[in-house]
Amino acid sequence: MRIPPNHPRAASLIIRERLVEAYRQGIVAPEGLLAHGRGEAFDYLLGERTIPEAESAIEAAAALLLLAARPVISVNGNACALAAEELVKLSKVTGARLEVNLFYRTRQREEAIARRLKEAGAEEVYGVGEQASATIPELSSERRRVDPRGILAADVVLVPLEDGDRTEALRRLGKQVIAIDLNPLSRTARMATVTIVDNIVRALPRLVQACATLRTLGREELASRVSSFNNERNLRAALARILEGLRRLAGEEDGGEG
């Protein structure tokens, strides 16, 4: 389907098409299309822009990744469909390993995702098939299957578009978790060490850029960027920003877009 470039919602419609195409290629789970719809609704409330709270979280996340001894980027279907190139760039700039980790796990999807990441320039992709031989304790979903050289051994894990449980389990194992989630109310958002409330499509290029910029800083300075960040406070501020936007719109004669 062709999206007219002058359509007022062209950017959003093109992203949908990318997901549908990736669904047809076996990368995205059908449930991933629903998850995207939920994300779109929150993005609408955020004004489809990177809010200042997300900028601060991106800076803290970059510092955390640069300080990590064994950072890992967890990749699911939606993240791969929307940001394969940027995920590979982030892995290169931080030295983080890329690991496929799926909620709706099938061998075909694991392989399709690994293939797509390799096409985007990844040299190695962890967590495919028998490589995911370890398990995260107390986690019953398919997400429990992890690579002993990847997520299991990681000290910092980036989890874009996550679904609740695992973030909690990873924190219990003593790992620091960076989430990218448009929903500031989600359990993932609340359980993570650093939550970037932004669309992965906008957040990842900014995160890559922040890592490239902060790379020159010493460990102490990086550590102070992390310790001055408070996730709970940041999430509250993100919610306040949504409220403020809604109040502004509610005060207008015609705030909706239809």
**Residues at the site binding ligand PTJ, with contacts judged by CB under 6 A:** 29, 31-32, 35-36, 38-39, 42, 76-78, 82, 102-104, 161-163, 180-183, 186, 199-201
Q: Which is nearer to ligand PTJ, 71 or 77 (CB)?
A: 77
Taking Cα atoms as reference points, which of 158, 225, 248, 163 lies closest to residue 195? 158
Q: Which is nearer to ligand PTJ, 156 or 159 (CB)?
A: 159
- What does R_g of the chain's alpha carbons equal in angstroms? 18
Q: How far is the CB of 106 from ligand PTJ (least distance, A)?
A: 9
Q: How far is the CB of 135 from ligand PTJ (least distance, A)?
A: 16
Q: How far is the CB of 206 from ligand PTJ (least distance, A)?
A: 13
Q: Which is nearer to ligand PTJ, 22 or 67 (CB)?
A: 22
Taking Cα atoms as reference points, which of 139, 153, 243 lies closest to residue 191? 139
Residue nearest to ligand PTJ (CB): 39
Give the Cα separation of 180 and 54 in Å (integer). Answer: 9
Give the Cα separation of 223 and 219 in Å (integer). Answer: 6
Helix (H, G, I), strand (E, B), or coil: what is residue 2?
coil
Q: How far is the CB of 104 from ligand PTJ (least distance, A)?
A: 4
Taking Cα atoms as reference points, which of 45, 77, 43 lies closest to residue 203? 43
Q: How far is the CB of 15 from ligand PTJ (least distance, A)?
A: 7
Taking Cα atoms as reference points, which of 45, 48, 6, 59 lies closest to residue 215? 59
Q: Which is nearer to ligand PTJ, 67 or 183 (CB)?
A: 183
